[in-house]
Amino acid sequence: MIPKVEVITCKEIGKRYSYEWVLRDFDFQFKKGECYAIRGPNGSGKSTLLKILSGYSTPSKGKICYSSGNTDIPTSDIYRHIAFSAPYIELIDILTVDELLDMHHGLRPFINMDTVRETIKNLPFKNMFRKKVEELSSGMKQRLKLILSIMSQSSVILLDEPGSNLDDDGKQWFEELLKPRIKDHIVIIASNEESDLRLAQHLIKITDYKKAKQS
């Protein structure tokens, strides 16, 4: 059985592009069963931090440790443990929703495929399984992205601006989808929208990690 990530420990994480530090000396520990909000102005490093935590981007300095109990999980295996939804991560438009589900289930299995299909069936869009992704509205694509991430077996859920392209009903739907899964996951949300962050128990101000620590 694959161990679940229970703790993510960040030690002096920093990211630099050319001569500019987007993130500096980020020390933090994320724990299972908790939901964290990352806030800050546009371009302040929120998405950069999520990309680093997901393994999509490598920090310029510092170290991240993923652990389960007393066991460290190799960074090379971390992709199996992380589900990541963001506006800049696109779905494959030419696939039908059915094909997309099958492909995703092969890469990152769902907790329960029947429950996933029932959740999609209850969305306000008829005959959705046979539709190609490119036929869906931006709001429906966003709901699909969130389902793929939140309902997977991955023990870490990273969400960048989860409420983008969602109307008020969609934002309420997102909250109801995420809430029961927090207790078994590490959930990290990057956003400045209050409606995205109502379930967060901890607030991280990314601007606190823009300057080097004073010696």
Compute the distance between CA of residue 19 and CA of residue 199 in angstroms, rounded to an integer.
36
Mean of pLDDT values over 136-142: 95
- Predicted TM-score (pTM) of this structure: 0.93
pLDDT tens digits along 175-185: 999 999 999 99
Cβ atoms 156, 36 nearer than 8 A: no
pLDDT at 19: 82
CA 207/CA 152 separation, integer angstroms: 31
pLDDT at 116: 96
Helix (H, G, I), strand (E, B) or coil at 4: coil
What is the length of the chain? Answer: 215
The residue-averaged pLDDT of 64-78 equals 89
pLDDT band at 32 (very low <50, low <70, confident <90, very high): very high
Chain centre to alpha carbon of residue 139 = 17
CB-neighbour burial class of residue 174 (10 A; exposed 0-12, middle 13-18, buried 19+)? buried
Q: Which of 18, 85, 15 is nearest to 52 (CA)?
A: 15
pLDDT-based confidence at 18, cuts 50/70/90?
Answer: confident
Does domain 7-209 fall under CATH 3.40.50.300? My reply is yes
Supply the pLDDT for residue 1: 55
CA separation for the pair 144, 139 (Å, rounded): 9
Instruction: Tell me which residue has tokens 């809430």.
Output: 179
Residue 76 has pLDDT above 50, yes or no: yes
- Cα–Cα dist 8/72, whole Å: 10
| Lowest-confidence segment of 57-66, 103-112, 202-211 by average pLDDT | 202-211
H or E element, residue 68? strand 61-68
- Region 10-22: mean pLDDT is 91
Three-state SS at 12: strand
Contact assessment for residue 169 and residue 125, using Cβ atoms and an 8 Å cutoff: no
